[in-house]
Amino acid sequence: MREFKRLTPYREALKMLLNDLKELNEIEEVLLSEALGRVLAEDIVSPIDSPPFNRSAVDGYALRAEDTFPAREYSPVELRVIDEIVAGEESKAKVEPGTAVKLMTGSKMPEGANAVLMQEMAERDGDIIRVLRPVAPGQNVAFAGEDVRKGEIILRRGQILRPQDLALLKSVGFKTVRVKRKPHVGIIVTGDELIEEFDEDALKAGKIMESNSIMLTGLVRQYFGQPVFYGVVPDKEEAIKSAIETARGECDLVLVTGGSAFGDRDFAHRFVELLFHGTTIKPGRPVGYGERVFIMSGYPVAVFAQFHLYVKHALAKLVGARNYEVRVRARLTERVSSQLGRHEFVKVWYENGEARPIKKKGSGIISSLVESNGYIEIPEDSEGHLEGETVEIVLY
């Protein structure tokens, strides 16, 4: 098998890839109920103050704070209750000196009141309450615009919409939101040795269950894309060429697994004008990219690494996504060694501020991915990290 004449450094290859791609212009308007995980296409400005009025933050009595200043448990202040309302109602009464309005959490503050006394801090006898301790002006009141102000930018373009983002949008009156179209990502799996249906006899005879397609389908969905699976293609030159041409014509990106090296039956890279082919990453060195097509390894762990180190960044560029990686700092429980000249993808299990490297090795060991929840990147100029060293983890 022919070796690579030159391995492109990881960062150089990533820069070439991202420079080759342009952000998609297409925008869709979707219901909030369908917007989870979508990428916001524009800044969002609140059309209202939220809350839209001063409201009570507790169940209790709206009153004038200054009326309560003399109150003590041994010497309570008496006030007269002139109205009672529930949340969603508005009191028509005006709070004058010596009066109070009974209300609930979320109720609009009545005119004249500037504080709310928690009901536990009062003793009631008919229309009279005895105030047992003073409250300060503004105490237990949520003021209009305390959450967001009218005209304020509440979400930025490129935000990946989370449940709390959708709640904020709904709280200020949005029913729909404008998001970037999901990139269509073609997935082509190649290999004569692969079978899609379990067959014990075939497995004993040397066949392998195909698993890259379902993994890549999930990863593409996780990172803003719409997967399109073109099936398992045999190691035949014309079949692979036809699949790549079809997918490239229908999709924004194409992922081809298998055939990324220089074996006699590695055909995929022959049909794409590649910007790079072979990089310093480990695992997944034979990765290539050009003409919106990724030529990827056949082994699942290498495919997983190639996706995280290259493909997810490409998808983020296409939709203009911000903050799409979760990075944390953690203390290594063991030493991690690396070879100079390699940009290593090291799987770890992160928990309680510590990162435990996964000892299982090999590009075909899928269980090593299952036993991990993040990775460390060790650049080409480093020989690794010592036990106890603090490192940055990218969670997945």
Q: What percent of the chain has pLDDT over 70?
A: 98
The C-alpha angle with vertex 298 and arms to 295 and 300, in degrees rounded to 5, equals 115
Could you give the CA distance from residue 286 to residue 295 in angstroms, rounded to a whole number?
8
- Classify 281 as helix, strand or coil: strand
How is residue 377 written in tokens? 């990147």
Q: What is the mean pLDDT of the segment spanning 236-249?
A: 95
Judge whether residue 3 has pLDDT over 70: no
Fold of 27-49+151-180: Molybdopterin biosynthesis moea protein, domain 2 (3.90.105)
Burial class (CB within 10 angstroms; exposed 0-12, middle 13-18, buried 19+) of 48: middle
Task: Inform me whether the pLDDT recorded for 266 exceeds 90.
Answer: no
Of the candidates 219, 54, 73, the one whose C-alpha atom is nearest the C-alpha of residue 134 is 73
- Report CA 383 to chain centroid distance, whole Å: 31
Listing DSSP states for 348-381 in one string gives EEEETTEEEE-----TT-HHHHHT-SEEEEE-TT
- Predicted local confidence at residue 6, as pLDDT: 85
Q: According to the model, what pLDDT value does residue 265 have?
A: 61
Kindly report, residue by residue over 361-395, the tens digit of the pLDDT.
999 999 999 999 999 999 999 999 999 999 999 99
Q: Which CATH class is domain 10-25+182-319?
A: alpha beta
Which tens digit of pLDDT belongs to each residue from 101-144?
999 999 999 999 999 999 999 999 999 999 999 999 999 999 99
pLDDT in tens, 290-326: 999 999 999 999 999 999 999 999 999 999 999 999 9
Percent of the chain with pLDDT over 90: 92
In whole angstroms, give the CA distance from residue 261 to residue 3.
Answer: 8
At 1 the pLDDT is 44
pLDDT in tens, 160-188: 999 999 999 999 999 999 999 999 999 99
Rounded-to-integer distance, Cα 199 and Cα 268, Å: 27
**Alpha-carbon gap, residue 69 to 72, rounded angstroms:** 9
Helices (H), the chain: 10-20, 163-171, 200-204, 212-222, 237-250, 300-306, 312-319, 366-370
CATH (residue range 326-395): 2.40.340.10
| Domain residue ranges of the chain, discontinuous segments joined by + | 10-25+182-319, 27-49+151-180, 55-142, 326-395
The whole-number pLDDT of residue 271 equals 87
| Alpha carbons 94 and 12: distance in angstroms, whole number | 70
Residue type, 389: E
Among the four given CATH numbers 3.40.1080.10, 3.30.470.10, 2.170.190.11, 3.30.870.10, the one describing domain 55-142 = 2.170.190.11
User: Which residues does 352 contact at the CB level (< 8 Å), separation at least 6?
Assistant: none
Which of these ranges, 1-5, 227-231, 383-387, has the smallest mean pLDDT? Answer: 1-5
Residue 99 pairs in a beta bridge with 80
**Whole-angstrom Cα distance, residue 318 to residue 35?**
18
69 has a pLDDT exceeding 60:
yes
User: What is the model's pLDDT at position 319?
Assistant: 98
- Greatest alpha-carbon pair distance for the chain in Å reads 96
The two tokens of residue 360 are 């299982």
Given this model, what pLDDT does residue 256 score?
A: 97
Task: Identify whether the C-beta of residue 259 lies closer than 8 Å to the C-beta of residue 267.
Answer: yes
Q: Output the pLDDT for position 166.
A: 98
Tokens of 286: 């034979």
Whether 264 shows a pLDDT value over 60: the answer reads no
Three-class DSSP category at 12:
helix
Tell if the pTM clears 0.95, that is, is over it.
no
ω into residue 76 within 30 of 0, thus cis?
no
